[in-house]
Amino acid sequence: MKLLCLFAAIVFIPQFVLRAQVAGNIVYGAPKAQSTVAATGELFATEPKGSRPVSFVEANVLLNLKADAYQAVFALAQEGPTLQDGNEKLTAQARDFIAALEALGVQRSDIFVDFISQNRVYDFNVVDNVAREKLSGFEVKKNVIVRYHDAALLDKMLAAAAKSAIFDLVKVDYVVSDMPAARARLREEASRVIEQKEASYKRLFGVKIRRASVCQEKYSAFFPSDMYKSYTAYESGGADNYNLRVVRNRKTSTSYYSPLDPSGFDAVINPAGVEPVVQLTLYLKVRYR
């Protein structure tokens, strides 16, 4: 009997082997401390002394989901000798940009101007050999947040932003309007995987088990802006041994979209194409006696 229980506990431990289009200038920032692999959990639970042995069946499911809408964030900044002057310049710049967006078909209700900061700007006044810091003006910063539904519209918005001297696209968020429905879809698929594994183990090994409870249910969401990686590729010669002052050229850094590897999942809903998508995952662990 003990050997049968030990065999059942080992059988129901699946082994997972995992490998670890628009992002905006947020890719230059530090990456978020978020795991980009499928979730896993402890397969053995600590049971009280004398309790009956338990087994677990797991399901790891991936859902690739196209965004329902997008939100682009454009950063604006203006300086002036006075705070009022800086505000007036920034207001005029934002007004021209919003007018250009409306001409592209963006609704005014889908545009929001978010105040960021206003700061003093200092410079140095050099007299003889003394550089004395002084107040030279003020800087005002605001973001224009734009929601749109056609991904192809972004190129036109970037051109409109350039005409208004706006060159900083901070990020593009991918919007999923009905997250509960997406999670329900994941749960249905994970339940189907659990039932298939349960039937397979019974058919292959003759193991009879009874469901006790859901031990773990973990949802995760991975948005394209979090899934970009970067590298700098070049080969450089050595000049350090010639006692020379070395002046190096600027190297171009490349960023690319790196989605989750589907091979680590039991089931994948909507296999990914070439377009970056929102990736939702569910790790479901069911306890058996």
Domain ranges of the chain: 14-67+177-288, 69-175
What is the mean predicted confidence (pLDDT) over 260-271? 94
**pLDDT tens across 89-123, in order?**
999 999 999 999 999 999 999 999 999 999 999 99
22-26, 69-73, 207-211 — most confident range: 69-73
Least confident of 25-29, 183-187, 232-236, 281-285: 25-29
Confidence of residue 258 (pLDDT cuts 50, 70, 90): very high
Task: Give, in words, the CATH class of 69-175.
Answer: alpha beta
pLDDT at 26: 55
Least confident of 24-28, 39-43, 59-63: 39-43
Q: Judge whether residue 16 has pLDDT over 50.
A: no
pLDDT at 2: 40
pLDDT at 5: 44
- Those residues with Cβ within 8 angstroms of residue 27's Cβ, 6 or more apart along the chain or in another chain: 225, 228, 230, 255
Q: Judge whether residue 18 has pLDDT over 70.
A: no
What is the mean predicted confidence (pLDDT) over 195-220? 88
Least confident of 64-68, 76-80, 177-181, 253-257: 253-257
